[in-house]
Structure 1
Amino acid sequence: MMKVQVISREIIKPSSTTPHHLRNFKLTLLDQSLPPIYVPIIFFYSSNSGNNVGILEKVQQLKKSLSETLTQYYPLAGRIKENGSIVECNDEGVEFCKAYVDGQLSEFLKQPYVEVLDRMVPCNHQRARSGRDVLLAVQANLFDCGGMAIGVCIFHKVADANSMATFINVWASTSPGIGKTTSPDVQSSTLFPTEGHVPLLQFIEKENVITKRFVFNASKIASLRAGPSTGSQVGCPTRVEAVSALIWQCVMRANGEEGSMRASVATHFVNLRGKMSPPLPENSFGNIMVLVASVATEREYHENMQRHLEQKLRDAIRRADLNCIKELQTPNGTMRIIESFNSLVGVDFCHFSSWCRFPFYEADFGWGKPIWVSTCTLPAKNFIFLIETRWGDGIEAWVNMEDVHMAKFEQDQELLSFVSPPSTA
């Protein structure tokens, strides 16, 4: 197994000072409700980029462009105040690490061990060290061959996956000096309440969680979506609905006793930018999303469980509409939604976060687009990331489960009938 050795750490600050009138960035109640964790993502770049830029020169380029981009994305260079409701945009900076990997990128991609991926992201991505910790951290991992993996962690209380994708692409376009720097739209605090008390969303953290990657290629997903419909189903399920429903029922089987099914709740984060009236621009910064839930009880075991769960997921996602947004915009709206989730006891949860359609594979820092984009371990029970494959037609599911349940999950015959051999090509 390859070793990853961090050889330097430094703080990168914005290239220009944040104006005084922008020093306080208010967090919405939805921001404040999220757990204090970092969201990790890793971008892999081949050395065959067609230019003569050396690997150390690339690192310097990354740092310079990061500093310039932070001038526009100034909240990421700040620190959260002790009351937890405001980011003090004080230009304290972000963490940048450089690490060496003792091996070839091509060899690593043949069998990318999660234990190695975990070491390719900076700091302890799994938990915040304190409320005054950095909100963004980057690690440039340099392979012997000249390839590179850029690990990025963003503190979840300040940004969702959409914000993360936008920031990284702006940073990438700034790197070669030919892109236009796009300022983020930071109006979320004017759209959703920022004052009041809201409980934290409760995700069950476990020490014995392990992470496995399951790949669904285009043909397997097409076969999954084309299954027999139910009388209540309207239209063909989306790729995300179909894959989520399959994983959900397999998780239920893995968590339950032989031949039985426990009550289960599946959650999905839904991006609200396009659902607002008028729609928000894609560069809107913050957590502009809502968590929706689908419930399956013990008595609901269905002959065609796949279609049944797909419809439940679709109904839940459709509830993230203008009425839901208006509820979130009321003073107690976020609190009522979060409390409704936290009050559910005696059921298993299956949490989904879909990064499909976010342009992570467009992040070109001047030496080509990434050949693979991955995440790594998140120590949250039954938490699943869905990421598009390189060519955008398949889905990689990164499943975090307790080891005892993972042993059953990964042997589920229905799951295996749709999973393709892992490939990063």
Structure 2
Amino acid sequence: MMIGKILRSGRRQLHTIISREIIKPSSPTPSHHRSYNLSLLDQGFSQIYVPLILFYPNNEICSLTADDKARKLKKSLSQTLTRYYPFAGRLHTPTTTYVDCNDEGVMFVEAKHDSLLHKFQHIIEEEEDETLGKLFPDDMVWQNSPHGTRLVGVQLNHFACGGIGLAVSMSHKIGDGCTLGSYMSYWASVARCGSTDHKEVLPLNPHFIQSPATTNPLQLPAPVLSQTRCPNLVTRKFVFPNSKISALKNKVYSINNPTRFEVVSSLIYKTAVAATTQGSSSFKPYFLSIPIDIRKQFVPKLPQNTVGNFVGGMLVTTRHSSETSLNVLVSEIRKEKMEVERVQSMQLAFQNFESFISRSRVSDRCFWCSSLCGLPYSKVDFGWGNPSVASITFGSIHSNACVLMDTPNEDGIVARVTFESQDMEIFQNDKEMLSFCHN
């Protein structure tokens, strides 16, 4: 039954919602798991949705029809929710300190798009706009949707060529980028193997830490990410091949063995500062804000499949334009990283991130850089191969920001950078940055 249509003029793309279904866990959640208490860090995050889009072309290795793929995704999602049981639950309010694991389920939306996947993908890769948001369920893209008590939403988009776009939105209340990556890997493995008890699936079982119950929610300062869409923001993709990254590393002599992230984020930030301060009569302090996974810093170490927000914060302060050299920036990032390595418990993690958010908001001159490199998004295989594109971006929500992800073949880093249009015009034409990448 046709439920709704969205028609985009200009490009004449017809996007039609064809079905909506609630997917519940295949087995009821036991009574002793009825309440899932949010950790200190979980409570500090706003009820906004992290959006992941995976594009899969129609290829010869899979003989499944579109309907077959949908059925397979729904069945394996139901099986997955027996292990990720909080994801099928609800929050009573945005500030509730626990998830009611009531098995109400996950909304699964199916839609048809009249474009060919490769053409649509080209549009999104070249110039991301509001079109991408239509691929996600119920406007669950960073902002708090009208369905804010839900924790996860899924939309399966069928393209005219037989390719699909699988869009998944996860509430930041229950997890970070690492949690989303583990969840997608588990779901895909269940789809491929057909069972949650398969030997390849069991090592991917989620790890939960039960936090103490509390009725007084903790609050971090106002969130860095705005929930208001900004009409003048532009997102562009820049690809840094490993060969170019190696050359970039050779320009750094301040520390030994700089990482890919350290040199790429430093170059992007250096270029961002130059682009956004061009024409200014005086240099005002600028900040590079970097959230970082701290599971390995805990004592004892937490498994990578630990569910929740385990995020520390690094903040590099730039007080003068001379401090934007690669050597200075890479050295400062390394110093901040050493400080974060001292965060070895949940209480220390909350204190660290509270301080990080507070310091990040002291000025509007702040560049936000999040790295998802090393996470398994580009290897999420439901049985029809790896995605041709895996993307999480800030889109039209946050200016002066970038997300770094591995290229599909892991032969480089993809940076999706967001600025106001006038700043992007300067940024994307910077000769030094372009010598290490292509867009």
Task: Indicate how the Cα distance of structure 1 residues 378 and 275 shifts in structure 2: closer, same or farther if over 3 A, else same.
Answer: farther
After the TM superposition, which residues 256-295 of structure 1 pair with which residues of structure 2 at under 5 Å, given as runs? 256-258=277-279, 261-295=283-317
After TM superposition, give the deviation of residue 395 of structure 1 in Å.
Answer: 0.8
After TM superposition, give the deviation of residue 331 of structure 1 in Å.
Answer: 10
- Whether the 8 Å CA contact 2:343–2:352 is kept in 1: the answer is no
**In 1, Cα distance between the equivalents of 2:326 and 2:352?**
31
**In 2, Cα distance between the equivalents of 1:386 and 1:338?**
20
Residue 361 of structure 1 pairs with residue 378 of structure 2: yes
**In 2, Cα distance between the equivalents of 1:187 and 1:274?**
15
> Greater shift after overlay, 22-31 or 126-135?
126-135
The code of the aligned residue for 2:98 comes to I
Q: Tell me the secondary structure at the aligned position of residue 301 of structure 1.
A: helix
After TM superposition, give the deviation of residue 347 of structure 1 in Å.
Answer: 5.0
Show the counterpart of 1:249.
270
- Whether the 8 Å CA contact 1:384–1:398 is kept in 2: the answer is yes
Residue 114 of structure 1 pairs with residue 136 of structure 2: no
Show the counterpart of 1:163.
179
TM-score w.r.t. length of structure 1:
0.89
**In 2, Cα distance between the equivalents of 1:30 and 1:109?**
35
> Greater shift after overlay, 48-57 or 102-111?
102-111
Task: Indicate how the Cα distance of structure 1 residues 204 and 368 shifts in structure 2: closer, same or farther if over 3 A, else same.
Answer: closer
Residue 55 of structure 1 pairs with residue 73 of structure 2: no
The code of the aligned residue for 2:268 comes to I
**In 2, Cα distance between the equivalents of 1:236 and 1:42?**
33
Instruction: State the Cα RMSD in Å.
Output: 2.5
Q: Tell me the secondary structure at the aligned position of residue 345 of structure 1.
A: coil
After TM superposition, give the deviation of residue 13 of structure 1 in Å.
Answer: 1.2
Gaps of 5+ in 2: 1-10
After TM superposition, give the deviation of residue 238 of structure 1 in Å.
Answer: 0.8
After TM superposition, give the deviation of residue 375 of structure 1 in Å.
Answer: 2.6
**In 2, Cα distance between the equivalents of 1:131 and 1:123?**
7
Alignment deviations for residues 37-58 of structure 1 (CA, whole Å, 9 cap, x no partner): 2111111112114232111110
Gaps of 5+ in 1: none
Q: Tell me the secondary structure at the aligned position of residue 295 of structure 1.
A: strand
Q: Tell me the secondary structure at the aligned position of residue 132 of structure 2.
A: helix
Residue 324 of structure 1 pairs with residue 343 of structure 2: yes
Residue 398 of structure 1 pairs with residue 398 of structure 2: no
**In 1, Cα distance between the equivalents of 2:380 and 2:162?**
18
The code of the aligned residue for 2:178 comes to N
Show the counterpart of 1:16.
27
Q: Tell me the secondary structure at the aligned position of residue 80 of structure 1.
A: coil
The code of the aligned residue for 1:420 comes to H
Task: Indicate how the Cα distance of structure 1 residues 144 and 218 shifts in structure 2: closer, same or farther if over 3 A, else same.
Answer: same
Q: Tell me the secondary structure at the aligned position of residue 8 of structure 1.
A: strand
Alignment deviations for residues 6-53 of structure 1 (CA, whole Å, 9 cap, x no partner): 222222111111111111111122112223321111111121142321
After the TM superposition, which residues 23-62 of structure 1 pair with which residues of structure 2 at under 5 Å, given as runs? 23-62=34-73
The code of the aligned residue for 1:224 comes to L
- Whether the 8 Å CA contact 1:193–1:331 is kept in 2: the answer is no
Residue in structure 2 matching 1:370, options 359, 380, 387: 387
Q: Tell me the secondary structure at the aligned position of residue 29 of structure 2.
A: coil
**In 1, Cα distance between the equivalents of 2:305 and 2:350?**
27
Residue in structure 2 matching 1:91, options 94, 103, 106: 103
The code of the aligned residue for 2:53 comes to I
The code of the aligned residue for 1:363 comes to V
Show the counterpart of 1:77.
88
Residue in structure 1 matching 2:359, options 341, 359, 369: 341
Show the counterpart of 1:212.
236
Show the counterpart of 1:129.
145
Task: Indicate how the Cα distance of structure 1 residues 412 and 84 shifts in structure 2: closer, same or farther if over 3 A, else same.
Answer: farther
**In 2, Cα distance between the equivalents of 1:161 and 1:272?**
12
Alignment deviations for residues 73-96 of structure 1 (CA, whole Å, 9 cap, x no partner): 011111123242111111111111
Alignment deviations for residues 272-309 of structure 1 (CA, whole Å, 9 cap, x no partner): 11122221112110001212211111x3514x711211
Residue 305 of structure 1 pairs with residue 325 of structure 2: yes
> Greater shift after overlay, 172-181 or 381-390?
172-181
Task: Indicate how the Cα distance of structure 1 residues 340 and 132 shifts in structure 2: closer, same or farther if over 3 A, else same.
Answer: closer
Alignment deviations for residues 311-336 of structure 1 (CA, whole Å, 9 cap, x no partner): 11121122111x3234x525973685
After TM superposition, give the deviation of residue 405 of structure 1 in Å.
Answer: 2.0
The code of the aligned residue for 1:308 comes to V
**In 1, Cα distance between the equivalents of 2:390 and 2:271?**
25
> Greater shift after overlay, 207-216 or 333-342?
333-342
Show the counterpart of 1:65.
76
The code of the aligned residue for 2:287 comes to V
Q: Tell me the secondary structure at the aligned position of residue 184 of structure 2.
A: helix
**In 2, Cα distance between the equivalents of 1:383 and 1:90?**
37
**In 1, Cα distance between the equivalents of 2:210 and 2:437?**
39
TM-score w.r.t. length of structure 2:
0.87
The code of the aligned residue for 2:111 comes to A
> Greater shift after overlay, 350-359 or 202-211?
202-211
Task: Indicate how the Cα distance of structure 1 residues 339 and 380 shifts in structure 2: closer, same or farther if over 3 A, else same.
Answer: closer
Alignment deviations for residues 68-121 of structure 1 (CA, whole Å, 9 cap, x no partner): 101110111111232421111111111111111212223334443423323222
**In 1, Cα distance between the equivalents of 2:120 and 2:287?**
36
The alignment of Structure 1 onto Structure 2 pairs a total of residues equal to 412
- Whether the 8 Å CA contact 2:290–2:314 is kept in 1: the answer is yes
The code of the aligned residue for 1:107 comes to K
